[in-house]
Chains A and B, each alone.
Chain A
Amino acid sequence: MTEFLVTWLAGTPSYAMPLLLASLGLILSERAGVLNLSAEGIMAVGAMTAAVTTLLMGHPWLGLLAGAGAGIALSAVFGLAVVVFRVDQILAGLATVAIGIGITGVIGRPYVHQTVTGIDPVQLPVLSAIPVIGPVLFHQDPLFYLAVVLALMASWMLARTRFGLRWRAVGEDPAAADIAGVDVQVTQLLAVLASGALCGLAGGYLSVVSSQVWVEGMVAGRGWIAIGLVIFVRWSPVRAIFGALLFGGASALTPRLLATGANVPVYLMMMLPYLLTIAVLAIPAMFKLGRGPEPENLGTVYLRQDRR
């Protein structure tokens, strides 16, 4: 039983990381008022680019970097459409998903099912020797630590710095921010690019770190789950760590339970993370818990001369 628990918990972070990275990106974008539904497509492009780059160049870290870069490139298209040309954010987001998934199919097909050099977990000396906690927390891949640090940094940036104050002001009330001298458009573009980098990285993690192979459709709805996760953690980067671990834990349970040969229908088990998504989204709404800092101006584009 302990062994089951340890393998399950130790496997959790690798399921949680893509969710954490992506939802972190989405939080950054939404706190600046841009509703970014393109995560699924950007993750797909990130996953493909990272795998292909690693195959061609032989360096997984270069691959991850390329994944993040591809995420930035695709989200620049989305950002331009939304912030500069004022295309509806929902429409533009969905279109970007379609574009992203389309591109991966075209470019990535020759590289499908080829094994990629991955990134190995690092074993923190001393700490990883602690029973149970050791392998769970201190024998993980470096990106796990990076993502946690990024989340803490994002939280600190938003809450404690002047830059973060401006960032949040744009999401809350762009007219007020504008009058206060904040460049609304630049801030929102920046936010979109940051979310693109993180979503691209999340995709790269999937192909280079967790599965070490690229197949089409491997993002498998994680981008959408990340969007739900953002609401679940009420736009807080720190809570996103725990939220992602919770969702990751649920996903990690599926293969482990299947491996034990327990007599549970497979499809029910595979539905688990999605059911959890719906449940956690419904619960705060039902009990009116959701009074957290939802950015007040999420999803509308500001133009100075609009009457408001």
Chain B
Amino acid sequence: MIAVAVPDREGGVALALHRVSKSFDGRKVLDDARFAVRWGEVHALLGENGAGKSTIMNVATGVYIADTGVTEIDGVATRIASPIEASRHGIGMVHQHFRLVNRFTVAENILLAAGPEAGIRNLDQAARLVAAKGSEVGLGIDPAARVCDLSVAERQRVEILKVLILGARIVILDEPTAVLSDQEATSLLRFTRGLADTGHAVVLITHKLREVVGHSDRVTVMRGGRTVLADCPTTGLDEAELARQMIGERVAPLRHLEAHPGAPRLVVRDLTVARADGGKGVDGLSLELRGGEILGIAGVGGNGQQQLADCLIGLATASRGEIQLMGRPVVAASVAARRGGGLRMIPSDRFASGLIGDMSVAENLAMTHLAGRYSRWKGFLARGRMRRDARAAITTFNIAGATPERRARLLSGGNAQKLLLSREVDSELTVLVAHSPTRGLDVKACQFVHGAIQDSVAAGAACLLISDDLEEILSLSTRIAVMSRGRLVGEFPAREATAEKLGLLMMNHA
């Protein structure tokens, strides 16, 4: 069934959850939470990492079954026990981590998800529907493309199209903008407005306060599994007030770090790194990074940032050029040798190349110092010391939900990032490469990460901050360069840089 606009119901409550509680392994994650979204509105759902936003929406869509609580659709109490039932009731969700089969084509994914009632019988029909729906709502995508060949933004389109093709009138988007560049995010937000205007109910989970203020009609705020602000119109709210609601205290603005550039610590000359598909990721890039400064590298994602970060830490091989760390050439050195020189890394994907999800917090923390601090006679592990250090790190970095024995994957995004940070920002740190270090983090966790970076730089370390979040670059860096097509195309001292100037450079060279 294709979605039909329901203007007559506009303004009525589309989906409501009352008194929802849910525990995982005896830990209460939702505690008497509630939520309601109306037809024709964009409703923002806000909350710290681990507040339970994804969990409550997973309850609404039948992925999780709540311990207690009632779900109402159009005012009628409804039991939703599986995602497919949710879909029958017109609820669709784009998950934080996409749920597409990577090796299938777009059309195959649609056919897979479509039950018989959607009236799709074969691949051709699915493909036609993708094309038709895509042009109808302005999300064009090639139905024959394999998902693994698509960019993140394109995969998101597939997810949204899937939800719409299945006939969803209540559309839930879990942190859709966290993976998008500024431009892509803007167009997505415009799209959600269009959905609301055609009568859909849209739930938008986000950490970006400016998206709440600028692009939603109402907001619900969750904290620690409870709803602390329900159904509040966004007109008249400002970002500071929202932040206070969210974390229960005022957020101090970031102090500005004065640069005290010391000796060069990381020198890159004429670096070229190939991309997996054969093209050039980094193309003749040179830079110099001194102690006591944060060099921010701005740019639209996909302009070689990933290859640059990988090559610096030693995960990708340079086809040309040199890298000097503390005056020593390291372009051919191993990851271990570079780490020995004090190079540290915060990757953009925490679980792909930072933490090992299925290992414990203590093991993750000890991972980088197995040869020194945590090894005993004949290679046995100093497990007591591992546990003690982990406990200390959990306290100093305030990692919520962590114990030394808990698996890292069970931590929420912000807390996983804190865990990584506590390992990487150690006493031997000389150069920190931070690649989108706050992706998907809430305001408070962001502030924590930024503070930790500033502290280590104030203590003399050098930091290369690669990020597609302009705001982060502008507020944190002492010097800013713009990266485009694998090279740096402009550089300013931080106080001369503005979002407009950077944006212009990024556009002109795109």
Residue numbers of A with Cβ under 8 A of B are: 162, 165-166, 168-169, 172-173, 175-182, 293, 296, 304-305, 307-308
Contact = CB atoms under 8 A, between A and B. Distances in A.
Chain B residues touching A, majority SS: loop
A168 B108 CA distance: 11
Nearest to A171: B101
A117 B83 CA distance: 54
Interface in B85-126: 87, 95, 97, 99-104, 108-109, 111-113, 115, 122
Closest 9 CB pairs of A and B: A181-B84, A180-B113, A176-B99, A179-B83, A179-B99, A172-B101, A173-B101, A180-B112, A176-B101
Nearest to B115: A181
Nearest to B407: A307
Contacts of B99: 173, 175-176, 179-180
Contact of A296 (B24, B97, B103, B409): B103
A179 B162 CA distance: 11
Given A180-B99, A308-B409, 7 more contacts: A172-B101, A176-B99, A177-B101, A179-B99, A180-B113, A181-B83, A181-B84
A257 B170 CA distance: 71
B111 A181 contact: no
A169 B97 contact: no
A293 B103 contact: yes
A173 B111 contact: no
Interface residues of B, number: 24
B438 to A, nearest CB: 21
B102 A173 contact: yes
Nearest to B110: A180
20 contacts: A165-B112, A168-B101, A168-B104, A172-B101, A173-B99, A173-B101, A173-B102, A176-B99, A176-B112, A177-B101, A179-B99, A179-B113, A180-B83, A180-B84, A180-B109, A180-B113, A181-B87, A182-B112, A296-B103, A307-B410
A182 B111 CA distance: 12
A271 B103 CA distance: 38
A307 B63 contact: no
Nearest to B120: A162
Interface string B179-192: 00000000000000
B212 to A, nearest CB: 26
A305 B97 contact: no
A172 B103 contact: yes
Interface in B111-157: 111-113, 115, 122
A181 B63 contact: no
A169 B122 CA distance: 16
A220 to B, nearest CB: 36
Given A169-B104, A178-B83, A296-B102, A162 B113 contact: no
A188 B215 CA distance: 44
Which of A166, A169, A180 neighbours the largest number of chain B CB atoms within 10 Å of its CB? A180
Contacts of B63: 178-179, 304
B82 interface: yes
A305 B108 contact: no
B116 to A, nearest CB: 9
Nearest to B114: A180
B96 to A, nearest CB: 11
Contacts of B409: 307-308
